[in-house]
Amino acid sequence: MAEHIRVLLPEEKVDTRIKEIGEAISRDYAGRQVHLVCVLKGGSFFMCELAKRITVPVSLDFMSVSSYGGDTKSSGVVKIVKDLDESLKDKDVIVVEDIVDSGRTLNYLMEMLRDRGPRSLRLCTLLDKPERRVVDVHVDYTGFCIPDEFVVGYGLDYDQKYRNLPYIGVVEFDD
């Protein structure tokens, strides 16, 4: 089936908002260093743009997770496909995600990372779909709250496509 993309958040709007979040983080972490943890692959575009807008010292690390299928899916248990290279011990950590949907992934991930002894741990997401929340997750920095629609671009994919779009769009199917 053919699909097309309807623009939801144009490039300028996304860039302006990322700049604002970068400024907020720079203020909140004045005099400290932030350690950004990117959740691959979706969070990568957002993290790079965000890191460029942060004026305090920044270090970066990456991890990749996948949900277990079948019965365990509803439990929200996620499998680490690629773990972080560095320890989080005593670091001021901000997890950078593309989107919080049901909240299952982040709920699990944040608990797991908290056990690694960071000095502080916060969550920053480009997008949030609050209507879809099943599990409670505390989000510290949000780019945009969006309606319950499937979105792509800025790291988000549909069947591994469209991650490279410089804006956020909704996938619509032609009939």
**CB nearer to Mg ion: pick between 17 and 41:** 41
Minimum distance from CB of 146 to ligand IMP (Å)?
8
Residue least distant from Mg ion (Cβ): 42
d(CA 113, CA 94): 11
- Asked if 153 interacts with ligand IMP (CB under 6 A), we say no
Find which of ligand IMP, Mg ion, none residue 104 binds, CB within 5 to 8 Å per kind. Answer: ligand IMP
d(CA 43, CA 61): 12
Is 115 a residue of the active site? Answer: no
* Concatenated DSSP letters of 100-162: ESSSHHHHHHHHHHHTT--SEEEEEEEEE-GGG--S----SEEEEE--S--EEBTTB-BTTBS
Nearest to 151 by CA among 167, 174, 135: 167
Contact footprint for Mg ion (CB under 5 A)? 42, 98
d(CA 41, CA 81): 11
Minimum distance from CB of 167 to ligand IMP (Å)?
14
Of positions 103, 143, 153, 169, contacts ligand IMP by CB under 6 A: 103
- Asked if 68 interacts with ligand IMP (CB under 6 A), we say no
Which sequence positions are flagged as catalytic?
101
Binding site for ligand IMP (CB under 6 A): 42, 97-106, 150-152, 156
